[in-house]
């Protein structure tokens, strides 16, 4: 099995193990609750009610014990298969042979990660288990039906963004977003639907619906997906035009409040005609509930995100079920949240190529501190 297939299968097995643990707990709790209900019902209304109640509870206890044994056997199988795949994924041949005591059925997820020794496999399993209860999966045919923004009111959206600035700046700001090379609003603006974000991260479908060679998206009859559109393990948007405008407003205000001041700063940090800037959330004035995002389930670090994206790409190549995702608020939960804004100089004009929320600054971006030196 190719490495990408191992990643896909390993994630699926750990998730299946988590599902089994959760449903085992629910099943055993239900059996116990039903037994008590029956006992309380029959005891006061029949002469032999007490004896019958005892018999009912005893029978259900025997059945629960039998069910628990069967559930434990399934958990042991899932554990063994998951360990075998994780041993391949992390090049740790000791994983399948480590002495393990599995938590009894009905004890939920808490004990599963602890059955792995400290290390990358433990961290991987813990991350998948943490996200698994909130995970969702978007089938590829639902992704195909997700709306795109190509037919949206772009000019009206640009006007809405520009209206967040002083009147003297609005025309210049509008031109930064109206250029054909800009996709900040179409891909990260507030009229990008949740389903479009989910389709982007799960199946790499461009929310803007562009049909150029680098973005065209097709689904085959076997549910395989073909596209060159790129996205990592998270996709997000600003939930209002006000929020989308905040990073650029902070840059302009921190550079004298003029377009000329902004251009001078961009020339300084992007002498080759491209400026990649990170604006911290506190500098931009971005707070919780101003952005919406979706992240790969279990993709809680750079390395785990790499595993998730490779498994996602494998699912696209072979037409497999979707990799799971979770909703996230990058500004509220990020370790160093803010917004990325990328400018490119085209002719004599600086264009906003993209702008999006992020949980932490990407590598090789200039951090904007609120004012230029």
Q: Torsion angle, CA of 127/132/134/136, rounded to 10 degrees?
A: 120
Query: How far is Cα 91 from Cα 133, in angstroms, rounded to an integer?
Result: 28
For 167, counting Cβ atoms within 10 Å of its Cβ (0-12 exposed, 13-18 middle, 19+ buried), the class is exposed
Quick one: which H or E segment has residue 221? none
CA 188 to the chain's CA centroid: 15
Count of beta carbons in the 10 Å neighbourhood of residue 90 = 17
Q: What is the pLDDT along the chain (373 residues), one digit of tens a residue?
A: 578 888 999 898 888 888 777 776 665 555 555 444 444 444 444 444 444 444 444 444 554 455 565 666 777 778 888 888 899 999 998 888 877 777 666 565 667 888 888 899 999 999 998 998 899 999 999 999 999 987 568 899 999 999 999 999 999 999 999 999 999 999 999 999 999 999 999 999 999 999 999 999 999 999 999 999 999 999 999 999 999 999 999 999 999 999 999 999 999 999 999 999 999 999 999 999 999 999 999 999 999 999 999 999 999 999 999 999 999 999 999 999 999 999 999 999 999 999 999 999 999 999 998 665 5
Domain ranges across the chain: 3-133, 140-367
> pTM for this structure?
0.85
Dmax over CA atoms of the chain, in Å, equals 96
């Amino acid at each position: 099995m190719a490495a990408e297939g191992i990643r896909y299968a390993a994630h699926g097995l750990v998730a299946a193990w988590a599902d089994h643990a959760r449903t085992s707990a629910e099943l055993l709790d239900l059996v116990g609750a039903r037994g008590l209900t029956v006992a309380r019902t029959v005891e006061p209304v029949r002469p032999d009610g007490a004896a019958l109640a005892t018999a009912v509870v005893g029978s259900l206890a025997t059945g629960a014990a039998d069910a628990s044994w069967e559930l434990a056997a399934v958990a042991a199988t899932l554990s063994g298969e998951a360990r075998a795949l994780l041993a391949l994924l992390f090049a740790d041949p000791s994983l399948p042979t480590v002495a393990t005591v599995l938590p009894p059925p009905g004890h939920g997820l808490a004990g599963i990660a602890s059955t792995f020794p400290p290390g990358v496999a433990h961290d991987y399993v813990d991350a998948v288990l943490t996200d698994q209860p909130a995970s969702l999966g978007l089938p590829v045919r639902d992704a195909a039906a997700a709306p795109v923004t190509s037919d949206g009111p772009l000019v009206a959206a640009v006007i809405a963004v520009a209206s967040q600035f002083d009147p003297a700046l609005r025309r210049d700001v509008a031109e930064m977003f109206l250029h054909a090379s800009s996709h900040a609003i179409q891909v990260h603006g507030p009229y990008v639907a949740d389903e479009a974000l989910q389709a982007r991260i799960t199946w790499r479908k461009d929310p803007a619906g562009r049909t150029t060679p680098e973005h065209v998206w097709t689904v085959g009859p076997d549910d395989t997906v073909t596209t060159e559109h790129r996205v990592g393990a998270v996709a997000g948007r600003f939930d209002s035009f006000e929020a989308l405008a905040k990073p650029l407003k902070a840059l302009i205000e921190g550079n004298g409040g003029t377009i000329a001041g902004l251009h001078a700063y961009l020339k300084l940090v992007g002498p080759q005609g491209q400026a990649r800037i990170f604006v911290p959330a506190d500098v931009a004035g971005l707070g919780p509930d101003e952005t919406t995002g979706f992240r790969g389930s279990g993709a809680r670090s750079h390395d785990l995100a790499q595993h998730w994206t490779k498994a996602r790409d494998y699912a696209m190549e072979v037409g497999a079920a979707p990799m799971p995702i979770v909703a996230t608020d990058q500004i509220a939960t990020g370790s160093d949240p803010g917004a990325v804004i990328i400018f490119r100089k085209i002719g004599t004009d600086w264009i906003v190529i993209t702008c999006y929320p992020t949980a932490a600054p990407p590598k090789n971006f200039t951090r904007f501190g609120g004012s230029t030196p």
